[in-house]
Amino acid sequence: MDRPLGGFDAQLGVRAAEVSAQRVELRLLVTPALHQLFGIVHGGVYCALVESAASLGAATWLGDEGRVVGVANQTDFLKAASGGELIAVGTPVHRGYSQQLWQVQITDSDGQLIARGQVRLQNLRPGGGRRP
């Protein structure tokens, strides 16, 4: 699978290489449009990749039972990047009835860890009821 995503992700140029309930892999080719003032990737790009990978995985897992919304995104910037491809891989840490927690690691094409983050997501189910 290598498909473009819509909305904000499309504006960034994010592509989905893999999407499942167990693992999400997103790819992004860095262009100067993604740089901040000093010629390196803007931190918001990393936050967006973390949010998108976690949201796609969480929504895939929840499926037709409802939809998910991010309620917390904590992203750490570990190494600067100015070009090449970024690869974001998201995996679940916890999946419960009302919330999920996903972790995401972003590497460059050489496998160097560039950023990492986690997103807590709320599972919104019709009626808001609990499982019996």
For residue 26, how many other CB atoms are within 10 A of its CB? 26
Whole-number pLDDT of residue 132:
44
Give the number of other CB atoms < 10 A from CB of residue 114: 20
| CB contact at 8 A, 87 and 128 | no
Q: Tell me whether strands 99-108 and 85-95 are parallel, antiparallel or unpaired.
A: antiparallel
What confidence tens digit (pLDDT) does each residue in 107-125 have?
A: 999 999 999 999 999 999 9
Query: Which residues does the annotation mark as catalytic?
Result: 51
Low-confidence spans in the chain with pLDDT less than 70? 1, 128-132
What's the confidence (pLDDT) of residue 129? Answer: 55
> Which domains are present in the chain?
3-128 (3.10.129.10)
pLDDT of residue 3: 75
CA–CA separation, 15 and 29 (whole Å) = 9
